[in-house]
Amino acid sequence: MIKTSSRATAALALALGLWGSGATAQAKPKAKTQLVLQVKPAGAAVFVDDKPKGKATAGRAIDVTPGYHVVKLVLGGDEHEERIKFASGQKTVYSYEFDEAQPAPQQPDDAPEVQLPDPGAQP
């Protein structure tokens, strides 16, 4: 038979009582692993590993799992894709700026000019 002191028994009972009651030491909440977007202009469609994640707005944060992910941005007919490593519990800021919008195609110089009637003119 193992002899224990009453002090050790009381400490053990207290520890088991706390453990059994669900009381735990205050644990620090685990930091999220996130992709933080800084995309210009705003409004690009965001995909992470080919899964749609909504639209890019300034400072928008998207939860991701740690490790490598492919981030793709699509705006109009333009798209950009990049493989990024995300560290556990860290916020990774991803900045991208799309080229300025291209001007609409112009008619060639030899195209006939079309004149529309003046809507205010009387027939």
pTM: 0.58
What type of residue sits at position 12? L
Long-range contacts, stretch 59-62, CB < 8 angstroms, 24+ apart: 60/36, 61/34, 61/35, 61/36, 61/37, 61/91, 62/34, 62/35, 62/37
Q: Which CATH number fits domain 34-97: 3.40.50.10210, 3.40.50.1820, 3.30.2290.10, 2.60.40.1120?
A: 2.60.40.1120
State the DSSP code for 11.
Answer: H
Confidence of residue 81 (pLDDT cuts 50, 70, 90): very high
Three-class secondary structure of residue 68 per DSSP: strand
Each residue's pLDDT tens digit, 19-58: 444 545 566 667 789 999 999 999 999 999 999 999 998 8
Each residue's pLDDT tens digit, 25-36: 566 667 789 999
Q: Is the pLDDT of residue 62 over 90?
A: yes
**How many Cα atoms are found within 13 Å in the side-chain-facing hemisphere of 6?**
0
In the chain, where the domains are located: 34-97
